Structure 1
Amino acid sequence: MLLTDYFRSTPDLTWDIALSCGVTHGTIRLPEDDAFDVTSAAHLHTVCERFRERGITPIIVEPLPNELHDHIKAGDAMRDECIEKFIILMKNLAAEGIHTVCFNFMAHYGWTRTAKNLPERGGASVTGFDLAEFLPDETVLTHDQMWKNYEYFVKAAVPYAEQYGVKLALHPDDPPLANLGGVARIFTSLDAIKRGISVVDSPNLGVTFCQACYRLMGERLEDAIPALRDKIFFIHFRNVCGDKTCFRETFHDNGEIDMAAAMRLYMENGVDVPIRVDHVPTMPWEQSDVAGYDAIGRLFAIGYLKGIIEGATYGNP
């Protein structure tokens, strides 16, 4: 496994903490301000050099920039222009040594939580979701529309992903509900994921295996990991309690997933890919910046993940 962590595009405390914990490879979020041109090789190079100068090698972009992806998922009038820009971006990413893009197909709402400060161990707080508390707007997209939009995108993008050596890693819907406020969600089961990555038969189309999402789907990791083993490009190592209609996130060692067993499953199935801790609690004395992505909780999470990896590989060549 290659340990990575999630970084915003300008230095902050998460950079310092990850480096202090021994993380040297970055899953990076590209800038989202008007000054950044997503098609500019020079702009991308500047961002990548910022990481390299701090000792972080960028290897994954997550997410596909929303300025493009929102139109692609909705299938609106700007879709084709945005796909063309993404193709240019893939070429530029490959030139920078970045060969994986984590993308999702959650239209309109993205990953969704109804609470950001649920109590966790020792006074820490976590995010959670309760369908009964979700307040939708009037946007409507059907399952048929969403599948057509997804198929249109991957059929257009994957040939260029192959040409440039970029892997497209599909993240499941979070939460994995069939419908969220009138907007259909299509990647809510293992079978749906299999269908999605079979639209185009390509070694460059696979998955980001967010294990907590599969747990919330009701899938067994003992089934899902072997089924997708050759298509897992990236892992989100996260834990949860509850089900897809009502759940909360947890410390990595305090949820319903047996994390050590999950790591053994990856290794037994030959899954040796970049991995990151994903969401973490906000610590009791921490001022929350972005719930799930606050800095101090990463100290425990990264250390825990390193220990799980080392424990699973101890004594093995």
Structure 2
Amino acid sequence: MEQSWRWFGPDDVVPLRAIRQAGASGVVTALHQIPYGVVWSVEEIEARKALIAADPSLGLRWNVVESLPIHERIKIGEGDLTELFDAYRQSMRNLAACGVRTICYNFMPVLDWTRTELRHPLPGGGSALRFNAHEYAAFDCFMLERPGARDDFPAEVIDRAKAWFDRATQADKDALLATIMAGLPGAFDRYDIPGLRRHLARYEGVSREALRQNLARFLREVIPTAEEVGIRMAIHPDDPPRSLMGLPRIVSSEDDLAFILGAVGSQANGLTLCTGSLGAGAHNDIPAIARRFASRIHFAHLRNVAKEPDGSFMEADHLGGDTNMVTVVEILLAEQNRRKEAGDDRWRIPFRPDHGHELLDDVGKGSFPGYSAIGRLKGLAEIRGVMTAVSQLRGLPV
């Protein structure tokens, strides 16, 4: 498996040399400065590649795009989308021409990943990302005041949400809004409460089935180009894998993945196996999902979460939490071996450690939440150890 590392470009407080020190060689990045729907030019792509390769002694290469974002109008199915589809396809062609041929993307409406705490304290002074069900309910029901929101939560969660809201200061409420808006680091848009309400209103009438069909349309539009230029598309699951703010989520379960991969039956139409996103859903059996869709896994995010009965969850140690990471790594190594024996020249599956804890000297450095250096280095080292052990025991190539 190709050990990789997410890097947010020149503004990332984690420098490229740290990636090499962590033992990774693949750099997972994106041109976050380019607005959604605008073509990524060859010049911009080559400039990022040159930055990554500027010090040849590091041996780094841009191996995965995360993400080439999909414009919200495509998700909604709003208006004439010809120019947006054309722009997306041209960006794909430009990436392929520059040698970057794996694209991670998502189809989450409005927001990407959602948490209510970006730095939940850990014993000893570290911190972790956390989703508290009652704080999210307080936001949805009492700050956003979304009609019908209370119907989406158990009464006990609503009671705790109201208690939190009643004692919260304005600073507490502002911090919760900022946390929920954090979404994916590097994302282009942020909203205040009125702006979020306006954006949610655009999805009125977009049912779960309609969103599914809009995704299927997107795949029909772009997968032929992916096949033509040798791109592998890898959809990222919803995080968390449940409806938020009344919006449908359609990449949240094994059935969802079966629909997506069956919508266009091409090897270019694949999956980012995110063990944390899928693992936050009590309905998901991560090893079973990995086994079923192994041949279509083009990229992996390996992280772990610990779930609680009310729907809360927290980022756990990479080998802790609720998902058996050893079994997942064994499945991925076995799939790699199958690809290698079949003559696939891209048989190695790129993966990266995801959402590490903020630890030691990284505390207070201002890294993107979940993306400090030491926590991810720890996770990568743990996974590397599992890979080495499984490889030797099973006779599988790493």
Q: What TM-score results when the alignment is normalised by the length of structure 2? A: 0.73
Residue 70 of structure 1 aligns with which residue?
Answer: 72
Report whether the alignment pairs 1:4 with 2:4: yes
Residue 244 of structure 2 aligns with which residue?
Answer: 180
Answer yes or no: is the 8 Å Cα contact 2:2–2:25 preserved in 1: no
- Which has a greater percent of strand? 1
> Residues of 2 paired with 1:268 and 1:24: CA distance?
22
Kindly tell me: are residues 132 and 145 of structure 1, through their superposed partners in 2, closer, same or farther at Cα, counting changes over 3 Å? farther
Answer yes or no: is the 8 Å Cα contact 1:212–1:239 preserved in 2: yes
Give the secondary-structure state (helix, strand or coil) at the position aligned to 1:180: coil
Residue 225 of structure 2 aligns with which residue?
Answer: 160
Report whether the alignment pairs 1:261 with 2:327: yes
Residue 290 of structure 1 aligns with which residue?
Answer: 368
Q: Pick from 286, 292, 314: which aligns with 1:227? A: 292
Shift of 1:61: 0.2
Q: Which is further off, 295-304 or 95-104?
A: 295-304
- Structural mapping, 1:70-219, within 5 Å: 70-77=72-79, 79-134=81-136, 135-136=139-140, 137=144, 138=197, 139=200, 140=203, 141-177=206-242, 179-217=243-281, 218-219=283-284
Unaligned runs of 5+ in 1: none
Cα shift readout 1:34-60 (whole Å, capped 9, x = no counterpart): 7xx633111211111111123321111
Residue 275 of structure 1 aligns with which residue?
Answer: 351
Kindly tell me: are residues 38 and 9 of structure 1, through their superposed partners in 2, closer, same or farther at Cα, counting changes over 3 Å? farther
> Residues of 2 paired with 1:6 and 1:246: CA distance?
26
Give the secondary-structure state (helix, strand or coil) at the position aligned to 1:202: coil
- Structural mapping, 1:40-79, within 5 Å: 40-54=41-55, 55-65=59-69, 68-77=70-79, 79=81
Q: What TM-score results when the alignment is normalised by the length of structure 1? A: 0.91
Kindly tell me: are residues 23 and 284 of structure 1, through their superposed partners in 2, closer, same or farther at Cα, counting changes over 3 Å? closer
Answer yes or no: is the 8 Å Cα contact 1:233–1:273 preserved in 2: yes
Shift of 1:32: 1.5
Report whether the alignment pairs 1:302 with 2:374: no
Q: Which amino acid aligns with 1:151?
A: A
Q: Which is further off, 184-193 or 77-86?
A: 77-86
Shift of 1:14: 4.3
> Residues of 2 paired with 1:273 and 1:33: CA distance?
27
Give the secondary-structure state (helix, strand or coil) at the position aligned to 2:359: coil
Cα shift readout 1:253-304 (whole Å, capped 9, x = no counterpart): 3322222232123223447411100111112551232111122322212222
> Residues of 1 paired with 2:287 and 2:43: CA distance?
44
Cα shift readout 1:234-266 (whole Å, capped 9, x = no counterpart): 111001000592101122133222222321232
> Residues of 1 paired with 2:218 and 2:44: CA distance?
25
> Residues of 1 paired with 2:52 and 2:62: CA distance?
7
Report whether the alignment pairs 1:240 with 2:305: yes
- Which has a greater percent of helix? 2
- Structural mapping, 1:34-45, within 5 Å: 38-45=39-46
Give the secondary-structure state (helix, strand or coil) at the position aligned to 2:6: strand
Give the secondary-structure state (helix, strand or coil) at the position aligned to 2:250: coil
Q: Which is further off, 152-161 or 116-125?
A: 116-125
Shift of 1:120: 2.8
Shift of 1:132: 2.6
Answer yes or no: is the 8 Å Cα contact 2:274–2:302 preserved in 1: yes
Cα shift readout 1:57-98 (whole Å, capped 9, x = no counterpart): 111100123xx4333223334743222111011111111111
> Residues of 2 paired with 1:126 and 1:311: CA distance?
28
Shift of 1:12: 4.1
Kindly tell me: are residues 71 and 52 of structure 1, through their superposed partners in 2, closer, same or farther at Cα, counting changes over 3 Å? farther
Residue 183 of structure 2 aligns with which residue?
Answer: none
Answer yes or no: is the 8 Å Cα contact 2:126–2:358 preserved in 1: yes
Answer yes or no: is the 8 Å Cα contact 2:238–2:252 preserved in 1: yes
Shift of 1:99: 0.9
> Residues of 1 paired with 2:124 and 2:222: CA distance?
46
Unaligned runs of 5+ in 2: 145-196, 338-347
Aligned residues: 313
